[in-house]
Amino acid sequence: MSDSDIHADFPPPTRLGLLLIPGFALMGYAALVEAFRAANTLSGQPLYEWLHVSPDGAAVEATNGARIMVDAQVGQKLDCRLLLVFAGGDPRRFHDPATSAWLRQMARGGCAIAGVSGGPFIMARAGLLSGRRATIHWEHRLVFAEEFPDVELESGLYVIDGPVITCAGGTAGLDLALALIARDHGEDLARRVGEWFIRTSPRDAAGPQRPSPAERHGTTNRVVLKALEIIEASLDRPPSREAIATACGRSLRQIERLFQDHLGQSLSETALAIRLDSAAHRLRTTDVAITQIALDCGFVSAAHFSRRMRHRFGVPPSALRNG
């Protein structure tokens, strides 16, 4: 019996489109594609096949410098069941009306659209997330919420809202891929794919993207944790110490004593360190303007921001950006 006779007994594979935006995050891409490859291998059947697409038809470079050749370009007719949009770095910088129009056209044609890591930014720009539930990498959450207030933003690993899918990226790509494989071909195959990649326990779609504040700050005091959550949720508009104390149901003196006892520093010192660390992370991992990062992290002037960064890291913001 020939290979063609054997494969004739299999249902046609699910075709995926992989739209790579320049500067996409390789980790999220690999986590998804490798899971689909493993599903083919472990099942002994061609369950999935895929085509790579770029905005201009040229090879696309990831954030780590790896380049991937593509099979098609935006605007071409593409017969696929699911189109995955991979982006990273600072997805706000990608403005391409042709890509937005093509994504809308693909969605109208019945293709499900999924955004990975910074991909939800590209989808939102195309108008595909209005009034929808969605998630995005925690690094982009603040600016995404500001630019697209009509999106019901969640903080989980991935969200499947009908034909519209969003994923935080990174290792969450594997969680999404396993959920799709389970939906298409059963839990047993999804479990075996997870084992293939040393995934010892499943993670729920709504699971957290980051370690809890208790793990990150090394305290279990519920009042301190509540104060930390308030600080982290309002980086761009830092609340006063008095407002934090009131929200925690404590006096300012009590809050300050708890911070000294559990974190070894004052409330103000802790809040400032959180804002500066967030700014440093954005400087190293995005191309957002330094002045915008300063505003996003609650600093009213570039000069004040620069002085604080020098004091904490020993170098100005521009030096952190340049590595």
Quickly tell me which residue has 């982009």 as its tokens: 140
Q: Cα separation of 306 and 16, whole Å? A: 46
pLDDT at 280 (0 to 100): 92
What pTM, to 2 d.p., does this model score?
A: 0.79
Question: What pLDDT, on a 0 to 100 scale, did the predictor assign at position 210?
Answer: 79
Q: Are strands 164-167 and 158-161 parallel, antiparallel or unpaired?
A: antiparallel
Model pLDDT, residue 243: 97
Exposure string of 273-282, with b = 16+ CB inside 10 Å and e = fewer, is ebbbebbbeb
Q: Into how many domains does the chain fold?
A: 2
Range of the domain at 242: 213-321
Give me the pLDDT at residue 8, please. Answer: 53
Question: What is the tens place of the pLDDT at every residue in 40-55?
Answer: 999 999 999 999 999 9
CATH, residue 218: 1.10.10.60
Stretches where the chain sits below pLDDT 70 are 1-9, 323
Q: What rounded mean pLDDT belongs to the chain?
A: 93
- Does residue 99 sit within a domain? yes
Q: Is residue 205 part of a domain?
A: no
CATH code where residue 125 lies: 3.40.50.880
Residue 4 has a pLDDT of 47
pLDDT recorded at residue 264: 95
Mutual angle of helices 26-43 and 187-196, in 10-degree steps: 120
- Sequence-ordered list of residues with C-beta below 8 angstroms from that of 266, at least 6 positions apart, any chain: 256, 259, 260
Q: Are residues 150 and 190 in the same domain?
A: yes
Give the pLDDT score at 323: 63
Question: Nearest Cα to 143, choosing from 33, 261, 1, 288?
Answer: 288
Query: Is there a single domain that holds both residue 228 and residue 175?
Result: no
In a domain, 208, yes or no: no
Do both 79 and 171 map to the same domain? yes
> 318: which 2 tokens?
């521009």
**Sequence-ordered alpha helix ranges (H) in the chain:** 3-8, 26-43, 97-108, 119-125, 141-147, 172-185, 187-196, 213-217, 222-233, 241-247, 252-263, 267-285, 290-296, 302-313, 317-321
